[in-house]
Amino acid sequence: MSTSYTLKHAIVIGGGIAGLLAARVLSEHFERVTLIEKDHYPGKPISRPGTPQARHVHTMLLRGQHILEGLFPGLESQLLAAGAVQRYYGHESLYYYGGRCPRIPPILRGWNCSRPLLEWQIRQFLATYPNLHIIEGYEVTGLLFEEQTSSVYGIQFQERGDRHNPALDKMGRLEGNLVVDASGSSSQSIQWLEKIGYESPPEIVVNSFLGYATCTYVPPANRPEWKGIAIQSTGPLRRGGSLMEVENDRWMVVLAGAGKENYPSTKPEEYLTFAQNLPEQALYEAIKEATPVTQIYGYRRTENRLRCLERLKRWPAGFIVIGDAVCTFNPIYGQGMTVSAEEALLLDTCLRSMKQRRNFAHDFQKKLSRILTFPWQLATSSDRRVAEEHRTKKFSERFADSLIALLPKDQEVLLTFLEVVHMIRSPFALAHPTILAKVFAQMNRQLASEKGVLRDGIDKTRRETPA
């Protein structure tokens, strides 16, 4: 086997969003691309067993939408034709962050749809690529490895369900110049690496024990004007909820609570009661007369998990790991699919610039870790505050709290915040002098308020303490 990429055959493990986008990019660089997926894809846009989370609200942030349109020109038009909903974020949305936020001008245009529709539409595009072949109903069991060159040169796979049946001998081998693991949070890449003599990477887990539950509704006749509602409590209960209009004139509604005692119920009456007890009544008022068309699905696997592959000193040539197989985010922040789109773009850039380098795969993992930095910090900083709420706040956390406190009061800050959250502007946009001045003024007000409460408490204690 050659020690440089001859760009003949690439193999993608996993056919979710990350795998589909990787396959699209690889088709531009390799003569042949094979995607292997353990599920059988449905013939229409519905959930499949391998993606139980697809029943829940999914958001492709604006940055991700822009990348998708570049990879699949006309995708937005196809989605809208299939029923996806065009919306202006912040203009046709109601946001609540400790208070109802102001409406911003119609600047942030995008679309909403369910994950099954998005995944299905991407597959329709990929079906037209003559050098891309999809194998369904098979799972990968290991890597083919050449010790002499320290290179992965393919995979072992078998028909799904045959693992525990020794009477069946359907093991297959598939060779390629590059293997991409996009098999999601259940990836076996660490075990595969250990089997061929590599160390396990450090792993970071941040868990706020958030749980959420989703139900899909037919809107009532007296529906509100909003195409989206997002409510985030800043109080001690840490509860929230979102409503997103999707295809087929449906509402997908998710209710969430951090800390096991705050989980929303999957019983209809208790679900509505949870919505009614949110600090903003708009979501409850919207769904109390709506008609549920699905059961209420709960979800609890919401920890943030980062596998620090870039820290390994040794890495095999010909093998890379992307998507949730590297980093899973708390789904409530809606970053996962957009980060997968960013990774696909990075893969394309790296293949164009350094595909003949012997250490291409390890260099790619290092570059990938850099694009994970901001979304990881965004998700984990908030979740750490919930998980460790009794410790003293760091300056960065006080800054974030003051920024959030400004969102219901300041249209300019809200717009910049949404642009950063949607990844269409750098986080440094929040360090603009005008915004910094407002945030620091808010920090001073909060500190003064905290000192006043503390001083009142001390005075009260002195008055009540006998001489």
The rounded distance, in Å, linking the Cα atoms of 334 and 100 is 21
- Of 318, 341, 376, the residue that ends a domain is 376
pLDDT at 400: 87
- Do 263 and 316 lie in one domain? The reply is no
Report the domain count for the chain: 3
- Do 218 and 316 lie in one domain? The reply is no
**Degrees, nearest 5: CA angle 384-387-391:** 80
Q: Where are the alpha helices (DSSP H) in 27-114?
A: 62-71, 75-81
Asked, for residue 322, whether it belongs to a domain, the answer is yes
- Do 259 and 403 lie in one domain? The reply is no
Residue 461, judged by CB atoms within 10 A of its CB (0-12, 13-18, 19+), counts as exposed
Asked, for residue 43, whether it belongs to a domain, the answer is yes
- Do 53 and 145 lie in one domain? The reply is yes
3-class DSSP assignment, residue 446: helix
- Do 255 and 342 lie in one domain? The reply is no
Residue 279, judged by CB atoms within 10 A of its CB (0-12, 13-18, 19+), counts as middle
- Do 349 and 432 lie in one domain? The reply is no
Give the tens place of pLDDT for each residue, 16-69. Answer: 999 999 999 999 999 999 999 999 999 999 888 777 777 888 999 999 999 999
The answer to whether the CB of 123 falls within 8 A of the CB of 44 is no
According to DSSP, the β-strands at 151-159 and 138-146 are antiparallel
Which residues pair with residue 240 across a beta bridge? 232, 256
CATH of the domain at 334: 3.50.50.60
C-beta neighbour count of 280 within 10 angstroms? 21
The rounded distance, in Å, linking the Cα atoms of 113 and 336 is 15
Asked, for residue 250, whether it belongs to a domain, the answer is yes
pLDDT at 166: 47
Asked, for residue 327, whether it belongs to a domain, the answer is yes
State the amino acid at position 46 in one-letter form.
Answer: I
- Do 309 and 434 lie in one domain? The reply is no
The rounded distance, in Å, linking the Cα atoms of 25 and 36 is 16
Give the tens place of pLDDT for each residue, 119-145. Answer: 999 999 999 999 999 999 999 999 999
- Do 158 and 26 lie in one domain? The reply is yes
Q: Give the structural domain span for 139.
A: 9-58+114-205+304-376
- Of 252, 273, 299, the residue that ends a domain is 299
According to DSSP, the β-strands at 250-258 and 239-246 are antiparallel
Give the tens place of pLDDT for each residue, 335-356. Answer: 999 999 999 999 999 998 875 6
- Do 130 and 183 lie in one domain? The reply is yes
Q: Which letter does DSSP use for residue 308 in this model?
A: -
- Nearest by Cα to 250 from 90, 121, 116, 76: 116
Which residues pair with residue 216 across a beta bridge? 252
CATH of the domain at 99: 3.30.9.90
pLDDT by residue, tens only, the chain of 467 residues: 333 456 899 999 999 999 999 999 999 999 999 999 999 999 999 888 777 777 888 999 999 999 999 999 999 999 999 999 999 999 999 999 999 999 999 999 999 999 999 999 999 999 999 999 999 999 999 999 999 999 999 999 999 865 555 444 467 999 999 999 999 999 999 999 999 999 999 999 999 888 999 999 999 999 998 999 999 887 656 899 999 999 999 999 999 998 778 899 999 999 999 999 999 999 999 999 999 999 999 998 889 999 999 999 999 999 999 999 999 999 888 899 999 999 999 999 999 887 566 689 999 999 999 999 999 998 888 787 765 655 566 777 788 889 999 999 999 999 999 999 999 999 999 999 999 999 999 999 988 887 665 455 545 544 555 55
Asked, for residue 83, whether it belongs to a domain, the answer is no
- Do 188 and 137 lie in one domain? The reply is yes
pLDDT at 458: 47
Non-local CB neighbours of 250 within 8 Å, separated by 6+ positions: 216, 217, 218, 219, 293
- Do 101 and 138 lie in one domain? The reply is no
- Do 26 and 141 lie in one domain? The reply is yes
Asked, for residue 440, whether it belongs to a domain, the answer is yes
- Cα–Cα distance list, 211 to 100, 237, 299, 300, 351 (Å): 24, 13, 6, 5, 39
- Nearest by Cα to 307 from 186, 190, 203, 194: 203
Asked, for residue 70, whether it belongs to a domain, the answer is no
pLDDT at 396: 78
- Of 267, 299, 331, the residue that ends a domain is 299
Q: What is the pTM of this model?
A: 0.90
Residue with tokens 């449906």: 250
pLDDT at 7: 84
Asked, for residue 415, whether it belongs to a domain, the answer is yes
Which tokens in the block code for residue 322?
A: 């992307």
